Amino acid sequence: MAIALFGVVALLVYGAARAGVDTEGRLATNHRRLQSARAMRTLLQDALRNARPAVRPGPPAFTLEPRLSALGEPADRLSFVAAGASPPLTSDADWLVTVEPTPAGLALTAKPLGVRAPTRVAALLPGITGLKIRVQAPGTVSRWSDTWAFLYIMPRAVELTYWTDSGPADLPLRVLLPLGAGS
């Protein structure tokens, strides 16, 4: 009887220990996911706050491409020029920044403009399957729009909503653009 009781207690202890290890693993995975989301949000927010037309003639200052995925989710693509301010976007060049959903997640790429041997910056946020982007026209506060036709004029503000397979994820990122707010 004592051996059977010891066996039951040992199984309970093992089960509790295993549950603790599984919980710790899930917490670590969730922590990494949250850190990745925070890093992407910060990088994107900093780049948008430094959005401006390029110093030298080149790509359009701001391009919004409204798109839908095969599943009907928003899959918008945004490209804009940003002044480098803080790492990884250094201040020695303007940067062409592109944000779009990919099968691997939300991708942000940045390429320095006017640099002979450009080094790209790339960031990926796994689990994000879609992106909905809206903008406000310069001047007074206006309605949000899904389109932007002015390639060399900055909007007043940009709103980005990340999507997952189950719909919108988290609260949208809203950024006022310095060159668009006072125009």
Q: Is the pLDDT of residue 32 over 70?
A: no
Q: Is the pLDDT of residue 60 over 70?
A: yes
**Is 41 inside a domain boundary?**
no
Q: Is the pLDDT of residue 107 over 90?
A: yes
Partners of 108 in the β-ladder: 99, 123
Q: What is the mean pLDDT of residues 73-86?
A: 91
Domain containing residue 84: 47-181
More confident residue, 84 or 28: 84
Q: Is the pLDDT of residue 30 over 60?
A: no
Find the helix or strand (DSSP H, E) in which 135 lies: strand 130-136
pLDDT grade, residue 37 (50/70/90)? confident
Highest mean pLDDT among 51-55, 77-81, 179-183: 77-81
**Is 97 inside a domain boundary?**
yes
- What is d(CA 178, CA 85) in angstroms, rounded to the nearest whole number? 14
- Per-residue burial over 46-58, b if 16 or more Cβ lie within 10 Å, else e, is bbbebbbbbeeee
Nearest to 114, CA basis, from 95, 97, 98, 99: 95
pLDDT for 183: 45
**Is 154 inside a domain boundary?**
yes
**Is 4 inside a domain boundary?**
no
Domain count, the chain: 1
pTM of the model: 0.80
pLDDT for 86: 74
More confident residue, 170 or 99: 99
pLDDT for 35: 75
pLDDT grade, residue 96 (50/70/90)? very high
Per residue in 115-150, pLDDT tens? Answer: 877 788 899 999 999 999 999 998 767 789 999 999
**Is 72 inside a domain boundary?**
yes
Nearest to 82, CA basis, from 45, 130, 124: 45
Mean pLDDT for the chain overall = 85
